[in-house]
Amino acid sequence: MSKFFSKFATHISDLSGRPGTFVVAVTLVIGWAMLGPFFGYSETWQLVINTSTTIITFLMVFVLQNSQNRDGKALQAKLDELILTSQAQNKFVGIEKLDEEELRKMSKTLAEKAERAENAADEKAESKQAPA
């Protein structure tokens, strides 16, 4: 069931992001609007568009969230592989599972480390430019 839903969600996500799908949606809304005078702008006429768009939106939330979750996990796996095969510290593998406070601390530490590295690079560049 999970594999079927993943394939279904991927297919629907791909279709929903196409320009042709947008054109179809706009055409349907214009068609609905043009039928307004024929139905006397009745409550039923309004209910058709309201119900249709609500149902489509409700279902698309689940489809798009599934696709986004899978894309995020795939991206994270790729990043983890790059970390493991590079000079980077392996402690970064799996940091997406840390809580908010731990992520803030790590981010602050990395920002400080980056600033020190930048300052060191600036000092090195200045020393090369200074006449001997």
* Portion of the chain with pLDDT greater than 90, in percent: 44
Q: Are the C-beta atoms of residues 96 and 85 closer than 8 Å to each other?
A: no
Confidence of residue 32 (pLDDT cuts 50, 70, 90): very high
Instruction: Give the pLDDT score at 55.
Output: 97
Q: Name the nearest CA neighbour of 113 among 81, 85, 91.
A: 91
pLDDT, tens only, 45-83: 999 999 999 999 999 999 999 999 999 889 988 888 888
Give the residue with greater pLDDT, 40 vs 130: 40
The distance of Cα 48 from the centroid of its chain, to the nearest Å, equals: 31
Q: Name the nearest CA neighbour of 63 among 121, 117, 116, 12.
A: 12
The CA dihedral of 64, 66, 68, 70, to the nearest 10 degrees, is -150
How high does pLDDT run on average in the chain? Answer: 90
Where are the chain's structural domains? 2-89, 98-132
